[in-house]
Amino acid sequence: MILRGWMSGVTLATSSFVAALPQVTVIDKNIPLVSAKRNRSTESASERSVCALNSGLRRQSPRLTIVKGAADRAATTAASDAAEPRELDWSILMARAQAGDSAAYRRLLEEIAPYLRSLAARYHNDRSDIEDAVQDTLLTLHAIRYTYDAARPFGPWLVAIANRRLVDRLRRQGRLRARETPLTPTHETFPESRTNLEGELSDRYAVEAAIQKLPPGEQQAIRLLKLKEMSLKEAAAASGMSIGALKAATYRAVKSLKTILSRSEDK
Amino acid sequence: MITTPDLIDTLATNVPPVRTLRRPTMRAAGWVVFAALILGLLSVSEGFRPDLVSILRDPMFDLRVAGALFTGVLAAAAAFMVSLPDRSRLWLLLPLPALALWLSTIGYQCITDWISVEPEGMHLGEAAQCFATLVLTSAPLSLAMLIMVRYAAPLRPVTVSLIGSLAVAGFTAVALSLFHAIDATLMILVWNLGTAAIFAALAGALGKKMFAWVGPRPSIGRST
């Protein structure tokens, strides 16, 4: 029984190493160990990444020691080893992005976007808010990417930026919402023309009644020029009146209408 | 509105190489050297106080200057540490012992000597001259600090500006202690921490706009 426990522990530890190995190999292939174009700062960043990679490789070397409770420990190690290469991978990608590698930068941003989305989902419910928060974090990361030290883990750097931006965003939203009033159906209903139909109709009847009281010439002038919105030329052609007579009739009509309507309002 | 994949595409297209920051301790050391340079220039232009040799024998004076100096150095180190996203805020505690030492030796003569009243009338006292020294020391140091930690604008503008102002205050106090025969510690604290409070309030109210002219703007198509 004990032997079986040991054996399963050894198997799990070995399988975790084997599972981690292909990922490390891929990372290794992506690192240009020698490049004539690199500047000094780039070189040091990449070298540090390689050192980090080597230390990562050293960490993952298999140890076939017989330890009590190895099965449980191996399971834990397998989980942490799965996270470590990803972190290491992001560190290397960021170091390469700092050196101007667009492909590495694109891959990094694409890989961290879902992670940032999950972080943002803790603070926001709305999907558009979550996407805005992710984009805000990506833009900030882009603006201060030179502050990342490739010798240090990438995760805390990323999470600190994301948390900072998320908290700032929540504060900004809080301030905005304190000054805003949500639109209710009542707000939308009152400005509608259909809601105010009764008032508009009564106004229309009052204007029509006032026009009826005007002399025929003024009535015709006001109907053609104001109600039908004709030009002076069109109104002159339609009525047979001269443009001057139309202007004078309209002037008198508007004046009379003002008097009639103000009188009816007083009543 | 731009989608996240489009944004990634925009950001990753033709990303220019960037020069990474040096270690925060190195950068803090650089700022301290700059502060020392300012103090050196002031010593040439204004000269040390006449009683410097005798007052250096006073342990309280030595403690005060040492406290201010260590506050300046440690606060500068803390400012450069805290300005980075992945460093702990516990670094803010670094200058506290030195600050406690400095504040324990505080004096207030400068406030009382602001304007001298003499039989022939009022004239500007020593305090006005030490105010000039204060501005000449703190202005370039504050500007240098602001530029050196500009990347903290979207992260911790208020905290960094406060701790940075404390560093400037420390060095300004050292300058005044060495160049003027007047104890101006309280004025320095009021001046620097008052400035820091205004700075912090503005930074809090306006956010990254405060650093807009020096800080990196998180926008598309701009390299840092």
Which of A20-29, A209-218, A233-242, B164-173 is the least confident region?
Answer: A20-29
In order, the DSSP letters of A82-112 are: HHHHHHHHHHHHHHHHHTT-HHHHHHHHHHH
**Domain membership flag for residue A254:** yes
pLDDT at residue B31 tops 90: yes
Out of B4, B12, B207, the one facing A105 most closely (by C-beta) is: B12
Are B154 and A98 in contact (CB < 8 Å)? no
Contacts of A145 in chain B (CB under 8 A): 18, 224
Which of B9, B86, B211 is the best mutation test for A, with the most CBs of A within 10 A?
B86
Over residues A232-236, mean pLDDT: 90
Q: What pLDDT, on a 0 to 100 scale, did the predictor assign at position B190?
A: 65
Per-residue confidence at B113, pLDDT binned at 50, 70, 90?
low
Out of B4, B13, B14, the one facing A135 most closely (by C-beta) is: B4
End-of-domain residue from the set A125, A149, A179: A179
Q: Measure the CA–CA gap between B62 and A138, rounded to whole angstroms.
A: 50
Q: Measure the CA–CA gap between A31 and A99, rounded to whole angstroms.
A: 12
pLDDT at residue A23 tops 80: no
Say whether both A70 and A158 belong to one domain. yes
| Residue A162 phi, psi dihedral angles, 5° rounding | -60, -45
**Lookup: tokens for A79:** 């989980």
Which of A132, A140, A152, A161 is the best mutation test for B, with the most CBs of B within 10 A?
A140
Element (H, E) at B109: helix B109-112
Q: What pLDDT, on a 0 to 100 scale, did the predictor assign at position B93?
A: 94
Are A161 and B85 in contact (CB < 8 Å)? yes
Q: Measure the CA–CA gap between A122 and A113, rounded to whole angstroms.
A: 15
Per-residue confidence at B211, pLDDT binned at 50, 70, 90?
low
Assign residue A60 the CATH number of its domain. Answer: 1.10.1740.10
Per-residue confidence at B42, pLDDT binned at 50, 70, 90?
confident
Q: What pLDDT, on a 0 to 100 scale, did the predictor assign at position A184?
A: 79
pLDDT at residue B206 tops 70: no
Say whether both A170 and A205 belong to one domain. no
Which of A37, A128, A135 is the best mutation test for B, with the most CBs of B within 10 A?
A135
Q: What pLDDT, on a 0 to 100 scale, did the predictor assign at position B59?
A: 82
Mean pLDDT over the full length of chain A = 72
Cβ atoms within 10 Å of A227's Cβ, excluding its own: 11
Q: Which residues contact B55 (CB under 8 A, 6 or more apart)?
A: B49, B61
* Contact in structure between B176 and B43 (CB atoms under 8 Å): no
**Domain membership flag for residue A186:** no
Residue at A192: amino acid letter: E
Cβ atoms within 10 Å of B177's Cβ, excluding its own: 24
Closest B-chain CA to A99 = B17
Helix axes A243-266, A232-239, angle to 10 degrees: 100
Closest B-chain CA to A153 = B86
Over residues A134-151, mean pLDDT: 89
End-of-domain residue from the set A151, A179, A207: A179
Domain count, chain A: 2
Are B17 and A39 in contact (CB < 8 Å)? yes
Higher pLDDT, B217 or A30: B217
Closest B-chain CA to A103 = B12
Residue whose C-alpha is closest to residue B16's, from A265, A142, A171, A109: A142
Say whether both A164 and A229 belong to one domain. no
* Contact in structure between B224 and B18 (CB atoms under 8 Å): yes
Local structure of B202: helix, strand or coil: helix
Assign residue A227 the CATH number of its domain. Answer: 1.10.10.10
Q: Which residues of B lie closer than 8 Å to A, measured between beta carbons? A: 1-5, 7-9, 11-21, 23, 84-86, 151, 154-156, 207, 216-220, 222, 224
Q: Which residues of A lie closer than 8 Å to B, measured between beta carbons? A: 39, 41-42, 45, 97-103, 105-106, 109-110, 113, 128, 131, 134-136, 138-140, 142-150, 152-153, 156-157, 160-161, 164-165, 168, 172
pLDDT at residue B213 tops 80: no
Over residues A41-67, mean pLDDT: 42
Out of A39, A109, A152, the one facing B12 most closely (by C-beta) is: A109
Contacts of A106 in chain B (CB under 8 A): 8-9, 12
Are B8 and A110 in contact (CB < 8 Å)? yes
pLDDT at residue A76 tops 60: no
Tell me how far the alpha carbon of residue A266 is from its chain's centroid. 56
pLDDT at residue B62 tops 50: yes
For A68-77, which contacts have Cβ atoms below 8 Å and span 24 or more sequence positions? Answer: A69/A5, A69/A9, A70/A5, A70/A6, A70/A9, A70/A10, A70/A13, A71/A5, A71/A8, A71/A9, A71/A12, A73/A9, A74/A8, A74/A9, A74/A10, A74/A12, A74/A13, A74/A16, A75/A12, A77/A12, A77/A13, A77/A16
Are A131 and B4 in contact (CB < 8 Å)? yes
Nearest CA to CA, how far is A113 from chain B (Å)? 8
Per-residue confidence at A14, pLDDT binned at 50, 70, 90?
very low
Which of A143-147, A162-166, A167-171, B101-105 is the least confident region?
Answer: B101-105
Say whether both A99 and A173 belong to one domain. yes
Which of A41-55, A102-116, A228-242 is the least confident region?
Answer: A41-55
Give the residue extent of every domain in chain B: 23-114+122-211
Q: Measure the CA–CA gap between B39 and B35, rounded to whole angstroms.
A: 6
Higher pLDDT, B117 or A1: B117
**Domain membership flag for residue A123:** yes
Q: What pLDDT, on a 0 to 100 scale, did the predictor assign at position A17?
A: 36
Range of the domain at A239: 199-266
* Contact in structure between A138 and A130 (CB atoms under 8 Å): no
Query: Which whole-number Å values give the CA distances from B201 to A24, A159, B158, B159, in the listed order?
Result: 48, 26, 8, 11
**Domain membership flag for residue A210:** yes
Reported residue count of chain A is 267
Mean pLDDT over the full length of chain B = 76
Say whether both A170 and A227 belong to one domain. no
End-to-end Cα, chain B, rounded Å: 24
Reported residue count of chain B is 224
In tens, the pLDDT along B65-88 reads 898 899 999 999 999 999 898 888
Share of chain B above pLDDT 90, in %: 17
Cβ atoms within 10 Å of B208's Cβ, excluding its own: 19
**Domain membership flag for residue A184:** no
**Domain membership flag for residue A190:** no
Q: What is the model's pTM?
A: 0.59
Residue at B38: amino acid letter: I
Q: Measure the CA–CA gap between A52 and B134, rounded to whole angstroms.
A: 47
Q: Which residues contact A117 (CB under 8 A, 6 or more apart)?
A: A130, A131, A134
Q: What pLDDT, on a 0 to 100 scale, did the predictor assign at position B204?
A: 57
Out of A100, A131, A143, the one facing B154 most closely (by C-beta) is: A143
Say whether both A162 and A216 belong to one domain. no
pLDDT at residue A167 tops 70: yes
Say whether both A97 and A214 belong to one domain. no
Nearest CA to CA, how far is A92 from chain B (Å)? 14
Q: ipTM of this model?
A: 0.73
Over residues A226-237, mean pLDDT: 89
Higher pLDDT, A123 or B223: A123
Nearest CA to CA, how far is A125 from chain B (Å)? 17
Q: What pLDDT, on a 0 to 100 scale, did the predictor assign at position B78?
A: 94
Place of tokens 């006001």: A222
Q: What pLDDT, on a 0 to 100 scale, did the predictor assign at position A251?
A: 92
